[in-house]
Structures are given as C-alpha cells and as structure tokens.
Amino acid sequence: MLRNKQTTQSIINVIPNPIIITNAKDMLMCNKNFLKFFNLNSIEDFRSKHKCICELFQEIDGCFSLSSLNENMLWTEYIFISKRKHKVSLLCNNKKSHIFNISIERINGNYFVILTNITAKEQNDYYEDIAYHDHLTKIYNRQMFDKLYKKELANHKRYGDDLSIIMLDIDYFKQLNDTYGHDIGDKVLITLAELITKHLRTNDIFARWGGEEFMILLPRTNVDIAYQKAEELRKIIDNHKNEIPHFTVSFGVTQILESDKELSAFIRVDKALYQAKINRNEVVKL
C-alpha cells in the first residue's frame, strides 16, 4: 500500500493543510489537520461514517462534485489530469459549508489530496462570482446583465451616447440536443460563448439570457455598427469548425431610443430576432 507508513504520516502531519491519501475509493491515511477540521479523533472515526471524502462534496455551482464525472472515471484522476483549478464544498460537523481549493498528486498508485481553505473574503468573492455568472459558459448571467444594463442606460440618458442591444439564439438547438445529446449541446453553448467573447470589446457586456439565448449590450454604438458586429459574429460562428456539429445563430439588433420605456427596447430586439429566425442564420435590425 504505502511504503514506510510511519514516515509518511509524520510528514503529512506537519503540513498545515488538511491532507488525505486515498486510492479514490477508500481513505488510506489523513493528517492531523484533516481530523481537526472534522472534529475527529482518528481516521477510524471518519471511516465509521464515510468510505470516501468524495461523499461529502456538495453540489454547488462552480464546485466539483461527483456529478461532474464521466461514467467510470475516478474523481481523483479527473482532478489530477484536469488543466483547470478546482474547488470543493465540504460540509463539516457543525453543518457549515467550507470551500477549499483542491489539488491532487499521484504517488505510487495512490492520490495525495491537498485541501486549501480559502479566506472569508475569497469565499465572499467566490459566491458573488457564481451569483453573477452562468455556471456553464462562465459569462454573465441574466441577473448581472440586468444590473449592468441599468448602469449603461443611466449613462446613455446622462451623456446621450448611443447604446445598442444584440439578442441571439442558436438555430435548431432542440433538434441538436435530441440528435447528439445534452453533452454536445453544452459544448455548443460553451463554444458559442468563447467565440463571441474573443470578438467583443472589453466594455461590451455579454450574457446568457436563458437556454440557448444570449444578449450583448454595446455601449457607445449605434444600430448600424451593432448590425455590422452581429453580421461579423454570425459569419465567424457559421465558418467555425471543430469536433462538435456545425451550428448557426440568428441575431436581432436594435438601438436604445429616447422614446423607449423600460422594456420596449427588449420587446423590439426580441421581435427582430423572431424575424431573423424565420429563415435562420440571419441578422435583422429594428
């Protein structure tokens, strides 16, 4: 199992982070700080209630949980080979959730799991981040778009700068999901978000509106320039090729007018998008 277990135990005990050693199914060893976090006297106390720490991973947006895994893949291997950083949310004995950064090293066929407790500020920033970002595409969600739209609308009314909206929708997305499955559908959404993000200005506001619909807010942009941008994005998406099936997007474009009431611009851009989707893969401005 582990060579020189006593030496290994001594080494991990001096590390301030909670650490466990596992084969991905059973916990083999843990250090004192792990026991302290869970208010346990020994590893046997933990084993009496749980077989593996992964049972305690909570399903929270932005945090790794077992639902993130593909079939038959070890959770430790998934995190070990992943190129991005992962967080986990653990429920400790006082029933409070704690978020940790998690890193894993593979040694002699076992996995050394290191948990780093993030600060209170980092945790607050994390919760704020997931509150305002779509968990799949990582761009802004509708709540954040609404917040930023009100700010830009106030600037528009104060300074008179142009302000335009682009609304877009993936063509035949339900059919794509039904044909290829939801995993491919998710990859399409992620690819779309990445493609558009690369071709927007830093002050443009891009958000997932809901389902396969997205919204772009373009400060200091009139409707003709916004139309050109939408047409540019439409062509980029239409010409994009990778491992996922080809897909197209329809766009509606409008400009905020002085006569607009609170929702009238959204009604107008939605109508423009509806007209674009009659033929699909088109841009319509109103």
pLDDT at 121 over 70: no
pTM across the whole model: 0.63
Mean pLDDT value across residues 109-138: 77
- Domain assignments of the chain as residue spans, ordered by start: 5-124, 133-285
Give the HSE-up count for residue 94: Cα atoms under 13 Å, Cβ half-sphere: 6
> CA 167 to CA 19: how far, in whole Å?
47
- Annotated active-site residue 212? The verdict is yes
Q: Mapping DSSP to helix (H, G, I), strand (E, B) and coil, where does residue 256 land? A: coil
Closest CA to 136 of 237, 207, 230, 53: 207
| 91-101 mean pLDDT | 74
233-271 per-position pLDDT tens digit? 999 999 998 889 999 999 999 999 988 877 889 999 999
What is the pLDDT at residue 5?
80
Cβ pair 21, 29 in contact under 8 A: yes
| Residue 84: pLDDT band with limits 50, 70, 90 | confident
pLDDT surpasses 80 at 142: yes
Q: Would you state the pLDDT for residue 124?
A: 65
From 212, 213, 231, 243, the catalytic residue: 212
- Domain 5-124 and domain 133-285, same fold? Reply is no
Ramachandran category for residue 181: left, alpha or beta (phi over 0 → left; psi -120 to 50 → alpha): left
Residue 267's pLDDT is 93
* Predicted pLDDT of residue 281: 95
Token pair listed for 185 = 């559908």
67 band by pLDDT with thresholds 50, 70 and 90: confident
State the virtual CA torsion across 52, 56, 59, 63 in degrees, nearest 10.
-80
What is the mean predicted confidence (pLDDT) over 110-137? 76
CATH number for 133-285 (one of 3.30.750.24, 3.30.70.270, 3.40.50.20, 1.10.287.3240): it is 3.30.70.270
pLDDT category at 157 given cuts 50, 70, 90 is: confident
pLDDT score recorded for residue 51: 82
Confidence of residue 286 (pLDDT cuts 50, 70, 90): very high
5-124 homologous superfamily: PAS domain (3.30.450.20)
> What's the chain's average pLDDT?
87
N- to C-terminal Cα distance for the chain? 69
Quick one: pLDDT at residue 52?
85
Single-letter amino acid code for the residue at 129: D
Output the pLDDT for position 285. Answer: 95
SS3 168: strand
pLDDT score, position 79: 86
pLDDT of residue 194: 94
Model confidence band, residue 122 (pLDDT cutoffs 50, 70, 90):
low
- Flag whether pLDDT at 171 surpasses 90: yes
pLDDT at position 154? 86
